[in-house]
Amino acid sequence: MIQEIEFVLPDEIENRSFEIISEELKGKNIVLKAEQEMVIKRVIHTSADFDYADTLAFSEDAVRKAKELIAQGADIVTDTNMALAGINKGILAKYGGEAHCYMAEKEVMEIAKESRSTRAAVSMEIAAKIEKPVIFAIGNAPTALLKLYEMLEKEIFRPAFIIGVPVGFVNVVQAKELIAGTDIPYIINRGRKGGSNVAAAIVNALLYELNKSE
């Protein structure tokens, strides 16, 4: 039988959702690290998928470092216009940061075609020219992570932070593990799952935490 519609005021829907998530994590005996809690819960909120409590992986002090970067005005580069649409650009702008996605730019398409590369990989090369710290929020293309890894190995470019949560079936698992093996601070999601929505949720969790703490 279907439950009845619960009466919840618009402003309270999100709080009620986080209460339910907290209760169910407790029911599953999952205890999250305090620093990571709001990131993981926001990803569960955006996916209704409790697997993320097990698979999201953080480098040491990742949340503190990402928040510091944002507070210092870091830019965010993402690999989909969907993630770009989902990121709270208003809060980011308060700290001097901008969010970018180069995927739909004509130049990117042309270079990708000529070089038999992916648009995501070409986008990373363009992002590497940004002259301030950049947080990468990759929700779709493992080839974006592979390009970041390659540029790091060749000492061409160092990302300030990598949120590596592409979703899919071809090289997705491998690309995320490569990033986790570097010395760049990261938040990744082990396994195949992830997505633009997950990338945006992680960025927004960081933005909201930072904004709240001021």
Say how far apart CA 159 and CA 178 lie, in whole Å.
Answer: 14
Q: Among 195, 202, 204, 207, which residue sits at the site for its own copies (rule: CB under 8 A)? A: 195
Q: Between residues 68 and 177, which has the closer beta carbon with respect to its own copies?
A: 177
184 binds its own copies (CB under 8 A): no
112 binds its own copies (CB under 8 A): yes
Q: Which two tokens stand for residue 73?
A: 């005005």
Stretch that binds its own copies, among 31-39, 92-100, 152-160, 164-172 (CB under 8 A): 164-172
Q: Between residues 132 and 170, which has the closer beta carbon with respect to its own copies?
A: 170
DSSP single-letter state for residue 25 = H
Q: Among 38, 52, 135, 143, which residue sits at the site for its own copies (rule: CB under 8 A)? A: 143
Closest C-alpha among 108, 140, 134, 132 to residue 122: 108
Torsion, Cα 84 214 35 73, to 10 degrees, reads 40
AA identity, residue 31: V
Q: Give the list of residues 6+ apart from residue 62 with CB closer than 8 angstroms, or none.
A: 35, 36, 161, 185, 186, 187
5 binds its own copies (CB under 8 A): yes
Q: Between residues 167 and 184, which has the closer beta carbon with respect to its own copies?
A: 167
123 binds its own copies (CB under 8 A): no
Query: Residue with structure tokens 């599953």?
Result: 28
From 35, 45, 100, 173, active-site residue: 45
Say how far apart CA 23 and CA 17 lie, in whole Å.
Answer: 10
Distance of closest approach, residue 194 Cβ to its own copies, in angstroms: 7
φ/ψ bin of 208: left (φ > 0), alpha (ψ from -120 to 50), beta (otherwise): alpha
- 100 an active-site residue? no
194 binds its own copies (CB under 8 A): yes
Residues that bind its own copies (CB under 8 A): 2-6, 8-10, 13, 16-17, 20-21, 45-49, 80-86, 112, 116-118, 143, 146, 167-175, 177, 191-197, 200
Q: Which residues are catalytic?
A: 45
